[in-house]
Amino acid sequence: MPLRIAYIVLAHRLPQQLARLVRRLSDSDSAFFVHLDRSADRRHGCDLQRAAVDSLAGASQVVLLKRHACYWGNFHIVEATLEGIGAILQSRRPFDRVVLLSGQDYPIKPLSQIRSYFAHHTHEEFIESFPLTAPNRWSGHRGPYNAIARVKRWHLHFRSRTLTLPWKRPFLRGVVPYGGSQWWALSMDCIEYIWGFVQREHRFLAYFRNTFIPDELFFHTIISNSAFAERVSGHDLTFADWSRPGPPYPATLDRTYLQTLCDSPKLFARKFDMDEDPGLLDLIDANLLREGSAPLLAIGAGHR
């Protein structure tokens, strides 16, 4: 039986690029659960939903989710992701894998290779997850970006602004906080576990509403404090360049990255902007996404 993939896509701009992503990944065994940031209408001066509906016309198996106003660093991005999980489960379709993408992601491997990779790693949870209490890549960060400060300080969110209070608070008893990249690809049984946990553990949700950048903490902490911890890969499947000394973070990819993307073992990459480099996705289609191109390399935690 073909492997069935559900994609949760979080989009806040570029509806035509969103439609291109959906069509590139579409086949009869895929479905797309798309969240359109409600705050984008005001910030970008457009009706994002209308533009997305027009761009997605003719695209099959697309579900538009209830919209949340998603400001960077606050809990609404987690809520948008949970909308996708809830809709997937409510659909009662027998998916095998759920993949979280942004609207500015794009595949860098042919769909056949993406399916083959998941088919050979059915019980692996592709998520970067490290304990915040041990040395990690956030340990040396200052202010609210510090690993443990993200969860143990009070963070109050007002749209795009975050106020970090100086007082510490105890973390949830019996739980170790984890973090990592926002993006993941999880098995369906792991998704079902997350949904059941969220329905039961209201104190967990309440606590994480006052953390900093909870989309890089919430799912990681649930999974890594469960039996699924043994299945965590420790890395995600999306290439991004965080190495540039100045913003934007991560870097907006242009055609100078084409060879890097060719060499990457990852399945997806971000972030792309058709307004800034309209020909890059055409180059990726022609050079990376042809069926019969080079097979996948092993994907390891060292590749970002």
pLDDT per position as a tens digit, 62-84: 999 999 999 989 999 999 999 99
The total number of structural domains in the chain stands at 1
Q: Residue 294 — very low, low, confident or very high, per pLDDT cuts 50/70/90?
A: low
pLDDT score of 116: 95
When pLDDT is averaged across residues 40-55 and rounded to a whole number, the result is 81
Q: Residue 304 — very low, low, confident or very high, per pLDDT cuts 50/70/90?
A: very low
156 located within any domain: no
pLDDT score of 303: 40
108 located within any domain: yes
pLDDT score of 247: 80
Domain, as residue range, for 43? 5-122+237-287
Give the Cα separation of 97 and 139 in Å (integer).
32
106 located within any domain: yes
pLDDT score of 300: 56
185 located within any domain: no
When pLDDT is averaged across residues 88-111 and rounded to a whole number, the result is 97
Give the Cα separation of 229 and 220 in Å (integer).
9
300 located within any domain: no
pLDDT score of 299: 58
CA atoms within 13 A on the CB side of 146: 10
Q: Residue 31 — very low, low, confident or very high, per pLDDT cuts 50/70/90?
A: very high
Q: If you average pLDDT over every residue of the chain, what do you get?
A: 92
When pLDDT is averaged across residues 11-32 and rounded to a whole number, the result is 95
Give the Cα separation of 304 and 301 in Å (integer).
7
Q: Alpha helix locations (H) across the chain?
A: 15-25, 40-44, 48-55, 76-91, 111-119, 149-152, 188-200, 202-208, 218-224, 258-263, 280-287
18 located within any domain: yes
Q: Give the torsion through C-alpha atoms of 87, 91, 96, 102, to 10 deg.
A: -30
138 located within any domain: no
Give residue 51's region: left, alpha or beta (phi > 0; psi -120 to 50). Answer: alpha
Do 250 and 102 touch, CB atoms closer than 8 A? no
Q: Residue 301 — very low, low, confident or very high, per pLDDT cuts 50/70/90?
A: very low
CA distances from 64 to 100, 145, 152, 167 (A): 15, 32, 35, 40
pLDDT > 90 fraction of the chain, expressed in percent and rounded: 82
Tokens 């993200």 sit on residue: 150
Point out the least confidently predicted range of 71-75, 99-103, 105-109. 71-75
pLDDT per position as a tens digit, 203-255: 999 999 999 999 999 999 999 999 999 999 999 999 999 987 778 889 999 99
Whether omega before 168 lies within 30 degrees of 0, making that bond cis, reads no
Is residue 302 predicted with pLDDT exceeding 50? no
Nearest in space to 88 (alpha carbons), one of 99, 78, 77: 99
pLDDT score of 98: 98
Beta-sheet pairing, 130-131 with 178-179: antiparallel
pLDDT > 70 fraction of the chain, expressed in percent and rounded: 94
* Helix (H/G/I), strand (E/B), else coil: 167: strand
When pLDDT is averaged across residues 262-285 and rounded to a whole number, the result is 95
189 located within any domain: no
